[in-house]
Amino acid sequence: MLSKYRWWRDAVIYQVYVRSFLDSTGDGVGDLAGVRAGLPYLKKLGVDGIWLSPFYPSPQHDHGYDVADYCDVDPLFGDLAEFDLLMAAARRLGVKVLLDIVPNHCSSEHPWFQEALAAEPGSPARARFHFADGRGPAGCEPPNNWHSMFGGPAWTRVGDGQWYLHMFAPEQPDWNWRNPEVGAEFDRVLRFWLDRGIDGFRIDVAAGLYKHPDLPDSDDPEADARTRDSVNPLAWNQPEVHDVWRRWRAMCEEYTARDGRERLLVGEVSVPTAREHARYVRPDELHQAFFFDLLSAPWNADAFRKVISEAMQDIAGTGSTVTWVLNNHDQVRTVTRYGEPATEGSGLGAARARAAALLMLALPGAAYIYQGEELGLPEVVDLPDDVLTDPIFRRTGSRARIRDGCRVPLPWSGQASPFGFTSGAEGARPWLPQPEYFAEYATDRALADTRSFWHLYRDGLQLRAALPQLGEGTLRWLDTPPGVLGFVRGESLVCAVNFGTAPTPSPVSGTPLLSSGPCPAGVLPGSTAAWWLADL
């Protein structure tokens, strides 16, 4: 029987990329006080909780995903006292708070890694990481042929000739989870934050903690590093990782037993199939894991139906609920991904992004919204090379997979940068430049325009909270014309999306409850989604 405390099963969580949300100090970088100031805005939008990107002490080689101290706040973002104020404010508003935990790797400035560099080969300090002798003459070649997810080899040589493993940037050495000291340290870290009242963790690289014990060569190392959908099976999805999630789940259950507040573990699980994904959300492991297949699906009714059906069969079949996502801090924003030129404020990409939002909010399970998604922000594709900060760009010299374009600071108000993002003196510059056209997407303008993305999201979230047909549960597919996807929630709520550009007859009669664009009675226009209450 499901506990009444399982708020997470159909929660809508807003991802706050802290350095780009709101700057309270005038240094051009968002911070925890800025998040606290923005909480009423998020409460008004109607989300159930927030997920905070890493704010721990870090040299910021990968914007906080290179952690030097897991139990403190980087001065760039505030301090522990400010974090406690944020938690208190969120609690007063009824907003859950999730922290981003990074257990696969740390910063090269983490004290344990610095200790390892100073220690001898074979020492206990080096055993916490993956140090190995090289191959070839004098060990001058890496220990194996693995490639980094950020480009180049996954190994870096140190002064005494050994190499260390980093599946991302060289400044992010991978932990050796086969060493029990590592697991014990993360148990301590989780308890530190749970004791401060948080509601759970988003787990970075949740499938990648364990590596094959022999560190053998990969059959296709370049393919392994191309995307997270083709990750190296020798460094990803090893069976021992499930023991970690069982231990962390038991820890969360321990805290829930004390006060009845269920803590959530949601994993960034990048595996090839929904069936493998489902193994991570078994009843004694992670509560949920992001289902990225919807995000990566092409704009096509058949493709969307296929990934939704697989998720409902394999993931929901475990007793968990699917965790849907269309955007995040690593992906091109939907408005651009679905075909929107980055410098225009309306068009096909925006219409499709609005339709996809209504589709996601109607699906059974939980949903995550990335900051700016509710404003309809496009990807900023014309950032000059000299402002790019993504380590992928530094490692490869290519702009093909860089992530800066979806991380540009939010526009809050006004007609010119910094658009209310920073409270600094006139001329203060955000850490990434905001384009002039961001004025069209500023929050104050979005709130004033009932046709905006913001109102679509707000109205969708209000209906989702009010209608018992929505939230967790099941769906039933409707017979629809080619290019149209339709399903029923409960007995009478219908969601339909026209993936084509030409209008088609509505799948049900009546006036829509909510639509992503103008929707005359009896018609579902192209690139439009709508919800109806119908007699079926």
- Which listed residue (229, 254, 284, 436) is catalytic? 254
**Two tokens, residue 97:** 């708070």
- Closest to 214 in 3D by CA, of 285, 143, 277: 143
Annotation says 204 is catalytic: yes
Q: Which 3 state secondary structure label does DSSP give 283?
A: coil
Buried b (16+ CB within 10 A) or exposed e, 309-337: ebbbebbbeeebbbbbbbbbbbbbbbbbb
Is the backbone of residue 347 left (phi > 0), alpha (psi -120 to 50) or beta? left
Residues 6 or more apart whose Cβ sits within 8 Å of residue 182: 128, 175, 176
Annotation says 385 is catalytic: no
- Which listed residue (62, 204, 262, 268) is catalytic? 204
The rounded distance, in Å, linking the Cα atoms of 205 and 149 is 11
- For residue 390, the one-letter residue type is D
Residues 6 or more apart whose Cβ sits within 8 Å of residue 495: 358, 359, 362, 486, 487, 489, 529, 530, 531
The rounded distance, in Å, linking the Cα atoms of 360 and 297 is 13
Is the backbone of residue 374 left (phi > 0), alpha (psi -120 to 50) or beta? alpha
Q: Residue 103 CA to chain centroid, in angstroms?
A: 16
Q: Is the dihedral of CA 221, 310, 3, 48 positive or negative?
A: positive
Which residues have a catalytic role annotated?
Answer: 204, 254
